[in-house]
Chains A and B, each alone.
Chain A
Amino acid sequence: MQYELKTQVIEPQRQTFTHIAKRYGDKPASRYIEGSIDVQPKEHFQYRPTWDPTREIYDDSYSVFRLTDAYSYLDPRQYYYAPYVTARSGHHEAFATSLEYIEARGLLERLPDGWRSVLAELVLPLRHLESAGQLILCGMARFGWGATVTQSAAYSAFDRVGNAQVLSRVGIALGGGTTDLLAEAKEHWLHDAPLQGLRRMAEETIVETDWGLALLRLDAVDRLVYDLLYQHLDDEAVVSGAPAYSLVAQHMASWFADNRRWIDALYTAWREDPELGATNAALLAEHGAAAVDTALEVVTPFAARIDELLGGSSAVDRITTTAAEVRAAHTGAAA
C-alpha cells in the first residue's frame, strides 16, 4: 500500500538565536553571522592568565585599537570555515595548474637571467617573511577581541603558510626539483643587504605585543612588497619575456587583493566607531604613517636591487608612489 507524503508546514518558534535577533531582528541569519557573532565569551572570566596576570583571558586592552562593539567589524568576504577552505582549495588548485604548465613548457629554464636572479635572490627569501606574517597573525588570533576579528586573523595566518608553500614550490621547480635554492634563499634572507631591513622589520613586528600595531606594520610592508612584486613586476614580466614570473605573480596578486579586503574593513570599523572613531582615526594616522615610513625605508634597498638586476624597472619609484598613497589613506590627507 502506498502513502502520499505531504509536506508538513510547521511554524518555527524563532528564526535565529537570541543574540543574533537582538542585533538584526528575528529573521533568518546567514551561516557567517550565526557562526561568528557573539561567540567569544565576554564576562566572568574565572582566572587571570599566568602569563599576564594584569589582563583577563580575553581582553580588549591587548591593542590600542578598540571597538565599542567588537562585532561592528564583519569580514566583507563572509568567510566562515567552509567557504574559507573552499576558496583556498580553488586557489591552490589554480596555482598547481599554472605550475604544471610552467614546468611542462620549461618556462623557468627560459627565464632571462635578471628575472631568474630576482626570483632566487629576492622573491624566494620572502617565504621567511610569510612565516613572520604567520606568527604575527597567530598572535592576533589569540589576543584580538571578538570572534569576527580573531577568525579573520586565523585564516590569514593560515594563508601565510600557504603563501610560503607556493613560493617554496616555485623554488623547488626553479632549482630543478631540488631544495638547493630554498637553502640558498635562507642565506640571502639572513645575510644579503637588500633583505636585512625587511628581516629587521619582521623580527621587530613579531615581538610587538599590540596586535593592532603589528597588523598595521605587516600590512604596510605587504602593500609595498606585493604591489611591487606581483602587480608592477607582473607588467614588466609580460613585456620582457618572463611569462613564468607572470604566471606565478597572478596567484600572489589575487590572494593579496582578497586578503586586503578584511584588513580595510577593520580599519573602516575602527574609524567609524561611534564612540572611539576619532581616537582610532588619530591612532591610525599616527601609527599608520609611521608604519608606512618604516616600510618604505626597509623595502627601498630591496627595490633598488630589483632595479639593478633588471636594469631599470622603476621599482623604487613604484614603492615610493605606493607608500605616499597608503600614507595618505591613513592620515586622511591628499596624496
Chain B
Amino acid sequence: MTLAPENKTKKAKKLSMKARYEALTRGLDWEPSYVEKDEMFPHLDYEGIKIHDWAAWEDPFRLTIDAYCKYQAEKDKRLYAVLDGFAQGQGHLGLTDASYLNAMKIFIQGVTPLEYGAHRHFAYLARHFAGPGPRFAALCQSIDEIRHMQTEIHTLSNYNKYYSGFHNWPEEYDRVWYLSVPKSFFEDALSCGPFEFLIAVGFSFEYLLTNLLFVPFMSGSSFNGDLPTMTFGFSAQSDESRHMTLGLEAIKFLLEQDEANVPIVQGWIDKWFWRSYRVTALVAQMLDYMLPRKVMSWKESFELYFEEQMLGGLFEDLAFYGITPPRHVEDAIKEKEILSHQVYWTLYQFSFAAAFTTSAPSDEHMDWLSQAYPDTFDTHYRPLWEKEKKNIEAGGRHFAPGLPQLCQVCQVPMLFTEPGDATTFAQRESEFEGEIYHTCSNGCQWIFEREPEKYRQAWLPVHQIYQGNCGGPTVPEVLEWYGLQDGDAGEYIGSRDHRNWQAWQGEAAADTATPDETKAGA
C-alpha cells in the first residue's frame, strides 16, 4: 500500500485550463493486469491499422460534462420553444406549398434513421478504442446523434399530424426500395471495423460530404417557410462542427500514427467517397425538383460544397500525407449536369410505390432548370417532360409498369448513364463464385470487386419482392406491406395533401385576408 498523501494545504500552482481539462478527462485509463489488453480491446488489429500512441489524439474542444450539459440544455430549450410556437400557431399553413414536405418525408424516412445508427456505432467506438481521448469524443457524438434523431422526429411530428407520408418511417426504412439506398450505406459502415467506420462516417460522411447532404435540406427549409426544420438545422450546427472536427482529427491521427496506414486509409476514402456520393443522389433530385421555392441547383451546390471546399481545400491539405483525391471523383464531376434529372425522372415514374408524391415540373420550373443546366436540360430532359405534359393533358400520367433493377452496391435503380455520355445507360457486371452481379457505375463496380463477399449479402428490395418476401406478388400487397396509406404515394396533384392544402389555404385566406404576406419570405 502506498503512503497516505501528505497534506498540501498551501495554495500551490493554479492549474491552467488545459492542465485542468486533462486532469478531468485524461488520466482515467490504466493498463489492465487481470485481463489482457487485447481481450479488452479485441477489434483493433484486424483492419491492419497501426496505432502507436493513443495519447497523441488531440481533443480540440475541451468540453467538460457540466459545460456540455449546460450548453446543450439551453439549445434544446430554445429549439423546443420554436417547435411549440409553430404547432400552436398552425405554422404549417405558412409553407410555400404542401409539396415542399416531400423533401421532409424523405428526410425523416432516410436520414433520421442514420442518426440513430450513428448513435449506436459511435457508442461502439466509445467502447472499443483503446484511447480515452477518442473514446470520449465518440461518446459525446453518440448522444449528440440521439439528439439529432429526436429533434428531427419532434420537428416533423407536427407535420405528421396534418400530412401524409411521415407516419410510418421506421418500418419504411427497413422495407421500402428507395430507402435501402441510405440503409445499405449506413449498414455497410456499421458492419466495418472501428477504424473504417471512423473514416466512413466520421470523415467521409460528417466531413467530406456533410455540407452537400445537409445544407440543401436546411436552406430548402428556410426558403420554404419551414421554421422548425430551419431552427433544428441551426441548432444542430454546433454539434456538427464538433463532429466535423472529430472526423478531421481522426484522419490526421491515423495518417500520422504509421505510414502503413496511408494506403489503407486511401482505400477507405476511395470507397466511402463514392458510397456517400451515391446517397446524395436523393438530395440532388430534392434540391432541383421538390422545393417549390428554389435555393440553388444541385450543380451549384456540388461545385461549392464539394469541388471548391473539398477538392480545392481539404485534399490540398491531405496531399501532405500522401493522400490523393478519391478514385472516381471525375465520374462524379461529370454527373453533376445530369444526376438530379435522371434520378427525379425515375422517382417520378415509381412514386406509386413510395412514401412521397411527385409531380411534373411546371413551365416556370422548367425554365429555371434550363437556366441552371444550360448544357443538358433542354437537350435531354425538357423533351421528356414536354411529352409527359401531353400525356397528362390526355389523362395518362405516366407510371412505370414494373419495378426497377437495383445496383448491387448503392441500391439506386440502374438509371445512370456512361460518364460524359448522357444517352447510353451504364451497366457493369461482375462475376463472383459463378454468379453475375450488376452495378450502376465504375465506382460501384470497383467497390463490389473489392469486397464481393460483403456485397453479395445485400438485401435488395426488388429481388426480395420477386422472391415473394415482401407481402405478396402484386403491387397492392407490397404497398400494404410497406404500411402505405391512401395519400402517401403517387401523384401530388389531386392527392390528399394537395386537396387539404387547397381547402386550408382557402379558409386561411378567408380568415386573414392577407395570405401572401404570411407566406415564406426569402
Residues of A participating in the B interface, judged by any CB pair closer than 8 Å: 3, 5-8, 10, 12-19, 31, 34-36, 38-51, 57-58, 80-82, 85-86, 88-89, 91-93, 95-96, 109, 116-117, 120-121, 127-128, 130-131, 134-135, 138-139, 141-142, 147, 150-151, 153-155, 157-158, 161-162, 164-165, 168-169, 172, 175-184, 186-194, 199-200, 203-204, 206-207
Contact: B32 with A203, CB < 8 Å? yes
Contact with A along B445-482 (1 / 0, CB 8 A): 00000000011011100001000000000000000000
Nearest Cβ in chain B — how far from A322, in angstroms?
24
- B436: CB under 8 A from chain A? no
With A41-B113, A41-B170 known to touch, is A46 a contact of B46 (CB < 8 Å)? no
Instruction: Assess whether A35 is in contact with B154, with CB atoms less than 8 Å apart.
Output: yes
Question: In this assembly, does B271 line the interface, its C-beta being within 8 Å of a C-beta of chain A?
Answer: no
CB <8 Å contact, B40 and A206: yes
B504 touches A (CB below 8 Å)? yes
Q: Which of B43, B124, B127, B157 has the most CB of A within 10 A?
A: B127
Q: Enumerate chain B residues within 8 angstroms of A184, measured Cβ to Cβ.
A: 2, 5
- For B511, the chain A residues whose CB sits under 8 A away are 5-6, 8
Instruction: Name the residue of chain A whose CB is nearest to the CB of B461.
Output: A44
The reply to whether B119 and A182 form a contact with Cβ atoms under 8 Å apart is no
The answer to whether A13 and B132 have CB atoms under 8 Å apart is no
Shortest distance from the beta carbon of B32 to any chain A beta carbon, whole Å: 5
| Segment of B182-190, B286-294, B314-322, B344-352 in the binding face | B182-190
A58–B19 Cα distance when bound, in Å, is 40
Q: Determine if A39 and B46 form an interchain contact, defined as CB atoms under 8 angstroms apart.
A: no
B327 at the interface (CB under 8 A from A): no
Q: Which residues of B contact A206 (CB under 8 A)?
A: 32, 35, 40
Using Cβ atoms and an 8 Å threshold, which residues of chain B touch A34? 153-154, 157
A207 touches B9 (CB 8 A): no
Nearest residue in B to A19 (C-beta to C-beta)? B170
B70 contacts the other chain (CB 8 A): yes
User: How many angstroms from the CA of A287 to the CA of B80 in the assembled complex?
Assistant: 43
Whole-angstrom distance between the alpha carbons of A34 and B511 in the complex?
33
The complex places the Cα of A191 from the Cα of B31 at a distance, in Å, of: 12
Choose from A85, A182, A193 the contact partner of B69 (Cβ within 8 Å): A85
Q: Shortest beta-carbon distance, A79 to chain B, in Å?
A: 10
Which chain B positions have C-beta within 8 A of A183? 27
Main secondary structure of the interface of B (DSSP, over half): helix
Q: Give the residue of B35, B70, B113, B171 whose beta carbon is less than 8 angstroms from that of A89.
A: B70
B282 surroundings in chain A (CB, below 8 A) = none
B35 x A207 contact (CB < 8 A): yes
**Among B51-59, B159-167, B222-230, B393-401, which stretch is in contact with chain A?**
B159-167
**Residue of B at shortest CB range from A31?**
B154
Whether the Cβ atoms of A86 and B457 lie closer than 8 Å is no
Q: Do the beta carbons of A128 and B30 come within 8 Å of each other?
A: yes
B8 CB–A CB distance under 8 Å: yes
Q: For the complex, what is the distance from the CA of A86 to the CA of B15, rounded to whole Å?
A: 29
Count, chain B residues at interface, CB 8 A? 108
Q: How far is the CA of A88 from the CA of B76 in the complex (A)?
A: 13
B430 close to chain A: CB less than 8 A: no
**Complex interface: chain A residues within 8 A of B464 (CB):** 44
Q: Let me know if A17 and B169 touch, CB within 8 A.
A: yes
- Assuming the contacts A177-B12, A192-B1, A207-B39, asked whether A17 and B160 have C-beta atoms less than 8 A apart, the reply is yes
Q: What 0/1 readout, one digit per residue, does chain B (7-50) give for beta carbons within 8 Å of chain A? A: 11111111100011001110111101111000110010010000
Asked whether A176 lies within 8 Å of B8 as measured between CB atoms, the reply is yes
* Interfacial chain B residues near A189, Cβ < 8 Å: 30
Given A82-B77, A189-B30, 19 new contacts (CB under 8 A): A14-B161, A17-B168, A46-B183, A51-B43, A81-B150, A85-B76, A86-B69, A92-B69, A135-B126, A138-B126, A138-B127, A139-B127, A147-B116, A150-B120, A157-B139, A177-B12, A180-B5, A188-B1, A203-B35
Known interface pairs A141-B142, A206-B40; A96-B15 also in contact (CB < 8 Å): no
A184 to B64 Cα, complex, angstroms: 22
Interface contact B187-A46, CB-CB below 8 Å: yes
- A-contact 0/1 string along B509-522, CB 8 Å cutoff: 00111100000000
Whether B127 and A142, one on each chain, are in contact in the complex, defined by CB atoms closer than 8 angstroms, is yes
> Does B513 contact A158, Cβ atoms closer than 8 Å?
no
Kindly identify which residue among A45, A191, A204 contacts B35, using a CB–CB cutoff of 8 Å.
Answer: A204
